[in-house]
């Protein structure tokens, strides 16, 4: 557990970057610090490993005041990941990952073995081991950065906008894998971002900071979206917060209708409606076709409209509503956990389900883990 205890940082030029911050990052959870640029996120993070010393207040890790710990020793027990990965350009991928183990005095063989294990763990090909960082894509560099931070198995990870500099698709991937990794590792993580969507997706707990470095609100993501503490937070979490909050609402039993389908490569038969759902041989939906256009020939890949998203029956209301809204037929496709078709649902049916659900009511001062962050939105 990391506790910020009335922490203030004033730089020599008078700038107050962090103002009387009190906050607890629980063990094994992801605490996200989010806020506009310049609100003191990086400064707060760097005070944890004492790259910056607080002007007032204390940061306490598992009951120990960090101000009284040896600086280098403290840092070697804390993984740190930054925006451009900060990899050492003169070291190979494997040597980069092994940096902290070597600093801790591990021998070469053990370090290499551990580094290889981590390379695999963050989803990188073993063939990248002897490359230099400049030979990697941005996403790969970021993975190496995460592997390097994990190398000596530190209980704490500090992450400063680690996924901000990669393109949106890669970012999404990195986020998903990060959550999967955290599921296995249970690190105590403080994660900094300016992106509220990322904060909502990754945080077990989200702390919103305002410019001037004061804490505006700290809560679970669902609670934050439903109950912003003031105008600043409401504004910051954004206009779509009503829609976004649906991702924390598990779907109730929705009234699914059965859908007439055609298997890819077969003839549509007589046109029942303007849009016909196409599935593969395992009944996994692959897209929609307009039978009127296909006529009497078999349905080909090129006929498919792939715009619709798929909702999982055990997913969230956001997934269900999005499936209905994105479907060209307006019938949202619902699948089971193996990805096979169960049926379809209409937007107004999801909306009535939403109206039947209560908004989340939880005590803000007791931010235990909220509803599972399960985004059911695969591409159809």
Partner 1 sequence: MDWLASNWRTVLDLAVSHLYLAGVPLVVGLVLSVPLGWTAKRWSRTYFAIITSAGLLYTIPSLALFVVMPLIVGTKILDPLNVVIAMSVYTVALLARTVADGLTAVPDHVEQAATAMGYKGLRRLFGVELPLAVPVVAAGLRVAAVSNVSIVSVASIVGISQLGDLLVDGYNRVIWGELVTGILATVLLALVLDALIVAGAKVLTPWTRAAGGRA
Q: Which one of 2, 17, 200, 224 is in contact with ligand ADP (CB under 6 A)?
A: 17
> Is there binding between residue 212 and ligand ADP (CB under 6 A)?
no
Cα 48–Cα 373–Cα 34 angle in degrees, nearest 5? 35
What does the chain come to in residues? 380
What is the distance of C-alpha 358 from the center of its chain? Answer: 25
Residue 37 or 73: the one with the smaller Cβ distance to ligand ADP is 37
Radius of gyration of the chain (CA): 24
**3 binds partner 1 per the rule CB under 8 A:** no
| Contact range with ligand ADP by CB under 6 A, out of 38-46, 109-117, 123-131, 301-309 | 38-46
Q: How many CB atoms lie within 10 A of CB 242?
A: 12
Identify the residue among 135, 352, 357, 379 touching partner 1 (CB under 8 A). 135
Angle, alpha carbons 7-8-9 (nearest 5°): 130
Task: Please tell me the count of residues contacting ligand ADP according to CB under 6 A.
Answer: 11
Q: What are phi and psi of 255, to 5 degrees?
A: -75, 95
Residue 136 binding: pick among Mg ion, ligand ADP, partner 1, none (C-beta 5-8 Å cut-off by kind): partner 1
Beta bridge partners of 312: 335
Residue 45 contacts residue 190 (beta carbons within 8 Å): yes
Q: Closer CB to partner 1, residue 34 or residue 156?
A: 156
Phi-psi region of 160 (alpha: psi -120 to 50; beta: other; left: phi over 0): beta
Q: How far is the CB of 12 from partner 1 (least distance, A)?
A: 14
Out of 3, 84, 227, 305, name the contact with partner 1 by CB under 8 A.
84
Specify the residue, 86 or 371, whose C-beta has the smaller distance to partner 1.
86
Please list, in sequence order, all residues whose beta carbon lies within 8 angstroms of the beta carbon of residue 167, skipping any fewer than 6 positions away. 138, 139
Q: Does 71 bind partner 1 (CB under 8 A)?
A: yes
Q: With beta carbons less than 8 A apart as the criterion, state whether 37 and 48 touch.
A: no
Query: Which does residue 11 touch among ligand ADP, partner 1, Mg ion, none (CB within 5 to 8 A, set by kind)?
Result: ligand ADP
Smallest distance from partner 1 to CB 99, Å:
6
Closest CA to 263 of 252, 239, 251, 279: 279
Question: In the set 40, 54, 291, 332, which binds ligand ADP (CB under 6 A)?
Answer: 40
Among 1, 129, 132, 360, binds partner 1 (CB under 8 A): 132
By CB under 8 A, tell whether 138 contacts partner 1: no
345 touching partner 1, by CB under 8 A: no
Q: Do residues 368 and 205 touch, judged by C-beta distance below 8 A?
A: no
| Closest to 196 (Cα-Cα) out of 204, 205, 185, 208 | 208
Q: Assess 43 for contact with ligand ADP (CB under 6 A).
A: yes
Q: Give the residue carrying structure tokens 């990899």.
A: 87
Q: Assign 13 to helix, strand or coil.
A: coil
Can you give the binding site for Mg ion, defined by CB under 5 A?
Answer: 42
Site string for partner 1, 48-67 (x = CB under 8 A): -x-x----------------
List contacts with partner 1 (CB under 8 A): 49, 51, 71-76, 78, 80, 82-91, 99-100, 103, 131-132, 134-137, 158
- The footprint of ligand ADP (CB under 6 A) covers 11, 13, 15, 17, 37-43
């Amino acid at each position: 557990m990391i506790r910020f205890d009335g922490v203030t940082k004033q730089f020599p030029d008078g700038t107050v970057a962090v103002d009387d911050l009190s906050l607890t990052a629980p063990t094994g959870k992801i605490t996200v610090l989010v806020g506009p640029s310049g609100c003191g996120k990086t400064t707060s993070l760097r005070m944890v490993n004492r790259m910056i010393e607080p002007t007032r207040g204390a940061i306490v890790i598992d009951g120990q005041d960090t101000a009284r710990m040896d600086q280098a020793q403290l840092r070697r027990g804390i993984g740190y990941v930054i925006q451009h990965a900060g990899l050492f350009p003169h070291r190979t991928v494997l040597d980069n990952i092994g940096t902290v183990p070597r600093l801790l005095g591990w021998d070469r063989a053990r370090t290499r073995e551990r580094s290889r294990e981590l390379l695999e763990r963050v989803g990188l090909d073993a063939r990248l081991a002897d490359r230099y960082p400049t030979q990697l894509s941005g996403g790969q560099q970021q993975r190496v950065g995460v592997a390097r931070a994990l190398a000596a198995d530190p209980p704490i990870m500090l992450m400063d906008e680690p996924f901000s500099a990669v393109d949106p698709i890669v970012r999404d991937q990195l986020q998903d894998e990060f959550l999967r990794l955290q599921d296995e590792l249970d690190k105590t993580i403080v994660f900094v971002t300016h992106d509220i969507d990322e904060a909502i997706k990754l945080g077990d707990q989200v702390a919103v900071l305002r410019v001037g470095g004061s804490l505006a609100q700290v809560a679970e993501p669902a609670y934050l979206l439903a109950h912003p503490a003031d105008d600043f937070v409401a504004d910051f979490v954004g206009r779509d917060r009503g829609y976004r909050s649906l991702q924390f609402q598990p779907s109730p039993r929705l009234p699914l209708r059965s859908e007439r389908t055609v298997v890819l490569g077969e003839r549509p038969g007589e046109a029942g409606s303007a849009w016909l759902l196409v599935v593969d041989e395992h009944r996994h939906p692959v897209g929609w076709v307009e039978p009127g256009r296909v006529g009497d020939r078999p349905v080909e890949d090129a006929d498919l409209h792939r715009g619709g998203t798929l909702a999982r029956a055990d997913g969230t209301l956001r997934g269900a509503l999005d499936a209905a809204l994105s479907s060209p037929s307006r019938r949202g496709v619902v699948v089971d956990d193996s990805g096979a078709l169960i049926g379809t649902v209409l937007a107004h049916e999801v909306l009535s389900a939403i109206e039947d659900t209560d908004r989340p009511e939880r005590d803000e001062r007791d931010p235990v883990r909220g509803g599972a962050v399960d985004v059911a939105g695969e591409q159809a």
